[in-house]
Amino acid sequence: MSAKQNRILIFGAGVIGSIYAMKFMEAGYDVSLFARSDRFRLLKEKGLQYNDKGTVRSIPVKVIDTLENDDIYDFIFVTVRYDRAESALLALKDNQSPNIVTMTNSPIGFSSWRGIVGDRLLPAFPGFGGQIKAGVLYARFAPKFLMATAFGEMNGAVTQRIESLARVFQAAKLPYTIKKDMKAYLITHSVSDIALLGGLYSGNQEIDPITPGTRKTARKITVTLKAYLRAIQKAGVAVDPPVFKIVSKLPSFMLDVLFIAWLRTKMVKDMLLPDYANAANREVVQLQNDLTKFLSMQNG
């Protein structure tokens, strides 16, 4: 199937959804963005605005704010935060599209999501990030060897739709990796986010990464990360990516140094902006609560 024969819906017009929309449109796919409120109006009026090496550019994009059940897409990418994933899937429950790709963390597996959309569910996780400031997308791509979009069937099989999705990413020139155990991958990634973002946001109190408290914050991240990595391994979850196995064995002072350096980056400064911080804090709270429940059930 050629790119132009595929229809793709991006459900969520934040950073991740906007990046995928832009890349898939560049590859020739028929792409629509589902957005609401101010984001919907801005996309309708000004197109998808993005920063290109200091210059703000714009590309026209098809944007919708309602979805009919018989409006069928080859793939629907759900690009919302974890705390909004279930409500997004409920909105898609009766739509007849065959493949729903969830681009978010999951510290508890897929049973609840599968209960909503069935075997159409295809778990995944994005390979980039960034910010939207004043309606303009500022994409941030990690080196390909560090981060790629991960996806895979719940049972680990390499199916026809996995191969079809891989062709989508090949056409869009986006790095990807096919995982045999997405549950383990997403639980491990949830641990990483809980440790890193939980170090930045505590009870909605933002931490300034350039103050003397940086070392204390770094140690908090180190302790949390190591504790949760040990906990998920004890619960029988395979640590993936494997680099986290090395992380759990590194001396704490070495991790402290790494996290101090990270806390002083521009990326972290952007992550402390109020809009981003408030949304990320809500996500981290739910991730941590659900991971605690999952570990309790495994060890109970």
Global pTM value: 0.92
DSSP 280-298: HHHHHHHHHHHHHHHHHHH
Q: Which residue has the higher pLDDT, 205 or 148?
A: 148
Q: How confident is the model at residue 205 (pLDDT cuts 50, 70, 90)?
A: low
Q: Where in the chain does DSSP place strands (E)?
A: 7-11, 30-34, 48-52, 55-59, 62-64, 75-78, 100-103, 121-125, 128-133, 136-141, 149-151, 176-178, 201-202, 205-206
Phi, psi of 7 (to 5 degrees): -110, 135
Percentage with pLDDT > 90 across the chain: 74
* pLDDT reported for residue 270: 79
* pLDDT reported for residue 147: 78
Distance between CA 234 and CA 222 in Å, rounded? 18
| Contact of 152 with 179, CB cutoff 8 Å | yes
* pLDDT reported for residue 274: 75
* Residue range 89-138, pLDDT digits in tens: 999 999 999 999 999 999 999 999 999 999 999 999 998 888 898 999 99
* pLDDT reported for residue 36: 92
User: Which value, to the nearest 10 degrees, does the dihedral of the CA atoms of residues 97, 98, 99, 102 take?
Assistant: 60
Residue 231: pLDDT above 60?
yes
* pLDDT reported for residue 212: 42
Percentage with pLDDT > 70 across the chain: 93
Residue 71: pLDDT above 80?
yes
Q: Which residues pair with 137 in a beta bridge?
A: 50, 132
Residue 206: pLDDT above 70?
no
Distance between CA 31 and CA 22 in Å, rounded? 9
| Pick among 1.10.760.10, 3.40.980.10, 3.40.50.720, 3.20.20.10: CATH of 3-180 | 3.40.50.720
* pLDDT reported for residue 146: 65
Phi, psi of 288 (to 5 degrees): -65, -40
Cα 80 to chain centroid distance, Å, stands at: 8
* Residue range 274-289, pLDDT digits in tens: 777 788 888 999 999 9
Phi, psi of 209 (to 5 degrees): -75, 0
Domain ranges of the chain: 3-180, 184-299
Distance between CA 174 and CA 74 in Å, rounded? 18
Mean pLDDT, all residues of the chain: 90
Residue 52: pLDDT above 50?
yes
User: Which value, to the nearest 10 degrees, does the dihedral of the CA atoms of residues 85, 156, 292, 286 take?
Assistant: -10
* Residue range 179-202, pLDDT digits in tens: 999 999 999 999 999 999 888 886
Residue 204: pLDDT above 50?
no
Q: Which residue has the higher pLDDT, 93 or 211?
A: 93
Residue 142: pLDDT above 90?
no
Judged on CB neighbours under 10 Å (0-12, 13-18, 19+), 292 is: middle
